[in-house]
Structure 1
Amino acid sequence: MASPTRLQGTELVDCARANAKQGIETAAFQCGYGDDLNTFARELRQACEEMNLQVKELNELITDQDMILQIGTGEVVAPDTASEL
């Protein structure tokens, strides 16, 4: 669900990260910026700087954990019990 207001700060970064895989247009819309991509990019860059994140492109917000979750639909390999390592 798209935000009814333009997100700022950590909320903006979290929303952008959650929608980064769908592209900048979707991320901007979901974060409340509609089709104003320039303002979205500027505000996101500023929010990242305030959080000491070195991000130049939206796709850099996609973490390894996000990739594992996406791949994680496969088979789980683990011992049957905690005592069987």
Structure 2
Amino acid sequence: MSASQPLKGTELIDCAKANAKQGIEAATELCGYGSDFNTFKQELKRACQDIGVQVNELSDLITDQQTVQRMGGIEVAPDTPSQL
């Protein structure tokens, strides 16, 4: 669901990070900026600077953990519960 008004600060960062994998168009819309990509980028950069994080583009918010989950991986676990 899109925000009713443009998000700011940590709320913007959280929303942008949650939607970064979907691309800038989706993240901009869902964070309440419609199709105003420039304002979205400026506000996101400002919000990140305020908490001491440098972000050059939206993909910088995608963590390694999110990438592994998307690409898949291997599960390391015992074959049966008794082999713990």
TM-score by length of 1: 0.85
**Distance in 2, Cα, partners of 1:81 & 1:47:** 46
What per-residue deviation string (whole Å, max 9, x for no partner) do you get for residues 11-31 of structure 1?
100100111111111110000
In structure 2, relative to structure 1, the CA distance for the partners of 1:10 and 1:81 (3 Å cut) is: same
Please give the root-mean-square deviation of Cα atoms over the aligned residues, in Å: 1.8
User: Which residue does the alignment assign to 2:75?
Assistant: 76
TM-score by length of 2: 0.86
In structure 2, relative to structure 1, the CA distance for the partners of 1:50 and 1:82 (3 Å cut) is: farther
Unaligned 5+ segments in structure 1 are: none
Which stretches of structure 1, 4 residues or longer, exceed 6 Å deviation after superposition?
none
TM-fit CA distance, 1:46: 0.1
Which structure has the highest helix share of the two? 2
Tell me the number of residue pairs that the alignment of Structure 1 and Structure 2 aligns: 83
| Correspondence list, 1:1-85, <5 A | 1-72=1-72, 76-79=75-78, 80-81=80-81, 84=84
Structure 1 counterpart SS, 2:54: coil
**Distance in 2, Cα, partners of 1:75 & 1:41:** 35
In structure 2, relative to structure 1, the CA distance for the partners of 1:65 and 1:75 (3 Å cut) is: closer
Letter in 2 for 1:76: E
